[in-house]
Chain A
Amino acid sequence: MRDIATSDRRDTATDDRVDLDWRPALARSVMFRHDRVRGADLLLLPERVVVLRGAAGSIVKLCDGERDVAAIVAELARRHPDAPVDAEVPAFLRQLRAEGWLR
């Protein structure tokens, strides 16, 4: 099991603005769900379960293939006016894409 938090960023050096019009959606092999039994948000993958910590689940939930990154950032900024959403969310989404979980 892997735990992922929004702060686990690995590629902070890349430019956050290049893909603001990308409309992230879950890859076909990936399921997102809230697990009521364990009280956790999960990403289910072949042979693997990733537990999403903190705000990660609410970010993934917005990846519906319709909203682009700018819209996701705007929505989260509205909900969490004091959080560093601009800086963290695009990098988090890119990290999930690099893992092959978002497309």
Chain B
Amino acid sequence: MSEAFGVHGAQGGPDAAARPTSPPPPPEPPWALLAELTHGCPLRCAYCSNPVKLIGRSVELTGDEWCEVLRQAAELGVVQTHLSGGEPLLRRDLPRIVATADEAGIHTQLVTSGVGLHEARLAELVDAGLRSVQLSVQHADPARADLIAGARATGAKERAARLVREAGLPLGLNAVLHRANLDALDALVELGLAWGADRIELANTQFYGWAMENRAALLPDPDQVARARLTLERWRVRLAGRMELVWVAPDYVDATAKPCMGGWGAVSLTVAPDGSVLPCPAAAELLGDDAPNVRDHRLDWIWRESPAFTRYRGEDWMREPCRSCELRAVDFGGCRCQAYALTGDAARTDPACHRSPDHDLVRALVDAARGPAPEDHPGFAYREGGT
């Protein structure tokens, strides 16, 4: 479920943990670990931020290896994990992975499409210590949801939501927003109410991986975003104290860099299906072969000392305009992965920022964006096959 993208502080817990200033050593311990258990997935979401070239199932970490990663993570200071993917339910050894995390004192949340979450499966996971479930939804209208997900899944999601509630676990919904659903926020919130969600994360699409392939079909124009914001504000007033509505801002349209992951290597780490360890789920492309792997190194070395994690930690790497900008302590110069994807140089200011010398790139895309997607043919490209 790679829509559960940690671009905002709430993801992975603490918002404003003490951060290393420059010079950074030694870094504060990480709070959270995103475990991408597999890239396999029955859905083919148009907005998926997993890489275009997925990691194959044959090179995935074994159950034993995942358990060892979680034990090392707990020793390092990790207290929360999101068990994600792809679709983590494709891993038969998931209950064992949950149990190991729980025994090590790590709070577990399953991030799922809901496909494959049957009653017996959930009961096993709850017995193993699962604490919370986050379920993705694409649209409140099943036919449109199918068009966005490239597969039929609404029935499975509705059942999953019911089972999670019956098991007494908190339920979060996660909806990635784009041209084909930003005008349907009312129905999405109503769906959350009907399904008994405690929280809905309304996350504007982040353009990485597959989502980048679909950027033109996904990117909304500023008017569509403004309408959605008004709707959100109305619901926030109505649901205050009842349901939490989290908004992940559209950085292109807002011309504002996001404080990605609370800073590079500052709060959390991601372990990809093949054991490579990343400061952020989108960093695979930027790091390439430089990504350290749990098969070669211990997690504490990777966090504290690996070149991949120290490269953009703190502020020493920054250039102008970030270096002298008062907002650098707030947004850390934006997203390194986005700077790399759009300019080929990860140390530049995030082009989403209106102060970036490369902001014209983003501005031109936003100027070219059109309104809501045509209802029955949103124009998405889908990955081949499922799983």
A contact set with B: CB distance below 8 Å: 1, 28-31, 33, 35, 37-38, 42, 44-49
Contacts and interface: CB of A to CB of B under 8 A. Distances in A.
Interface in B70-126: 75-77, 79-80, 105, 107, 109
Interface in B228-287: none
A35 B79 contact: yes
Contacts of A49: 13-14, 31, 79-80
Contact of A37 (B10, B76, B170): B76
Interface in B7-40: 10-17, 29, 31
Interface of B: 10-17, 29, 31, 75-77, 79-80, 105, 107, 109, 131-132, 134, 168-170, 172, 199
A47 B198 CA distance: 12
A35 B199 CA distance: 27
Contacts, number: 57
Contacts of B172: 46-47
A46 B15 CA distance: 13
Contacts of B31: 49
B76 A47 contact: no
Given A31-B131, A42-B79, A1 B13 contact: yes
A44 B15 contact: no
16 contacts: A1-B17, A31-B107, A35-B105, A37-B75, A38-B29, A38-B77, A44-B79, A44-B107, A46-B170, A47-B10, A47-B109, A47-B199, A48-B13, A48-B14, A49-B13, A49-B14
B131 A46 contact: yes
Nearest to B105: A33
Contacts of A29: 131-132, 169-170
Contact of B16 (A1, A38, A42): A1
Contact of B14 (A1, A28, A30, A37): A1
